[in-house]
A = this chain, B = another copy of it.
Amino acid sequence: MTDVLRAGEAARVAGVDEAVSLDELRLAARNHGMPLEALRHDLTPPGLHYLLVHYDIPFVDPSSWRLQVGGHVRTPLTLDLADLHDRPRVSRTVTLECAGNGRARLLPRPVSQPWLDEAVGTAEWTGCSLAALLDEAGVLDGTVDVVFTAHDHGTERGVEQDYTRALPIAEALSGNVLLADEMNGAPLPPQHGAPVRLVVPGWYGMAHVKWLRDIAVLPSRFTGYQNAVAYRLRADADDPGVPVSRIQPRALVVPPGFPDFMTRRRIVDAGAVELFGRAWSGRAPVVGVELSVDDGLTWTPAALGPETSRFAWRSWSFAWDAVPGEYTLRVRAADTEGVQPVDQPWNLQGMANNMAQRVAVTVR
């Protein structure tokens, strides 16, 4: 673990005036956010759902795919796709967000996948229950973590690995977690983890391990790279920090009017404008959304739509009487534990940054 942590200390933060690098652009060209007008869809179509692939999308033959379940259990299991399908089917509608969403808006900017606001999406995931599977395997007393290993292979800061991340045993047994093989009623697309991925409702995306191949039950804390180095909330290089876990509250608005191609600045015709958006939190239930048209000086409550599912976004709307001028819209969600920050919650890797969105609008 010491070696792994040392590698982690190489996490880089850009200089204050340092523009986006070719490395960051290369990641932005492959991975993609959800264009914010797609907030209109209750369920995000696969090609609009945000996507982050750490290494390459692996090609996994579904007919030869096997899942190993082992480690600190009574009865290790080996399952194929038919075995998984024979188990009771469970569906959950879940809003998934990348832990690095908003990173490229931070100053100074942690250097990694340069997300702006769009690393989010909501889908209905179907598969079988992880808790039921672990119950079959018989988790032994003294279990601490459950470790999920994927087929995608690469290096990060010098550490060669198959993507692997662990969940605390309490979360793994909560009954919320799925091994999903369907997205919005269709087989998982290759880029979303075919044939089987983990879905951990309420947690940031790094926990939803795609292209799953192995589940290992551990009687100790997992010290692999994605828990011990990456996806960690660290104030600075001397702070060991804690692993990223649940999604912080966030609201987003569909940018109103129409855009300029190059700047994406919005132009809105004066008059009644129905602002619409979504709000979610994995940490606690969303209880309110507020909107500001003056860059956060004053805030007015929006009308919150019904909760359709605990871990899915809620719609909200706001009737804006738009008068000609220049505006900066901001929107923030509150859950039962608190409200979104207006200023950046900076950390070394730009994780779980839920600074309130900002949209520049010209009303004509």
A190 and B20 CA atoms in complex are apart in Å by 30
Q: Is A338 an interface residue (CB 8 A)?
A: no
- Nearest-CB distance from A27 to chain B (Å)? 8
Q: Is A16 an interface residue (CB 8 A)?
A: no
Cβ contacts under 8 Å, A32 to chain B: 29-32, 51
**In the bound complex, do residue B155 and residue A267 qualify as a contact, i.e. CB atoms below 8 Å apart?**
yes
Q: Is A19 an interface residue (CB 8 A)?
A: yes
Oligomeric state, in copies: 2
Binary contact readout A271-288 vs B (1 if CB under 8 angstroms, 0 otherwise)? 000000000000000000
**In the bound complex, do residue A115 and residue B29 qualify as a contact, i.e. CB atoms below 8 Å apart?**
yes
**In the bound complex, do residue B190 and residue A38 qualify as a contact, i.e. CB atoms below 8 Å apart?**
yes
**In the bound complex, do residue B261 and residue A155 qualify as a contact, i.e. CB atoms below 8 Å apart?**
yes
Q: Is A54 an interface residue (CB 8 A)?
A: yes
Question: Restricting to A225-274, which residues have a CB under 8 Å from any CB of B?
Answer: 255, 258-264, 267
A258 and B54 CA atoms in complex are apart in Å by 11
Size of A's binding interface in residues, CB under 8 A = 58
Cβ contacts under 8 Å, A263 to chain B: 23, 26
Which of A41-49, A129-137, A195-203, A208-216 interfaces with chain B? Answer: A41-49
Contact of A114 among B29, B56, B191, B255 (CB under 8 A): B29
Q: Is A116 an interface residue (CB 8 A)?
A: yes
CB-CB nearest in chain B for A20 = B20
**In the bound complex, do residue B56 and residue A261 qualify as a contact, i.e. CB atoms below 8 Å apart?**
no
- Nearest-CB distance from A122 to chain B (Å)? 15
**In the bound complex, do residue A20 and residue B29 qualify as a contact, i.e. CB atoms below 8 Å apart?**
no
Instruction: Give 8 nearest A-B pairs by CB, closest first.
Output: A19-B19, A47-B47, A32-B32, A28-B28, A20-B20, A156-B261, A46-B47, A37-B56
- Sample of 8 more A-B contacts, CB < 8 Å, known A19-B19, A25-B25, A30-B32: A25-B116, A30-B33, A37-B56, A37-B59, A46-B47, A55-B258, A56-B259, A155-B267
A-B contact pairs, 14 of them (CB 8 A): A20-B22, A25-B25, A26-B263, A28-B28, A30-B118, A30-B264, A35-B56, A46-B47, A47-B48, A55-B258, A55-B261, A111-B262, A156-B260, A156-B262
> Which A residues lie at the B interface, using CB under 8 A?
18-33, 35, 37-38, 40-41, 45-49, 51, 53-57, 59, 104, 111-112, 114-116, 118, 153-157, 189-192, 255, 258-264, 267
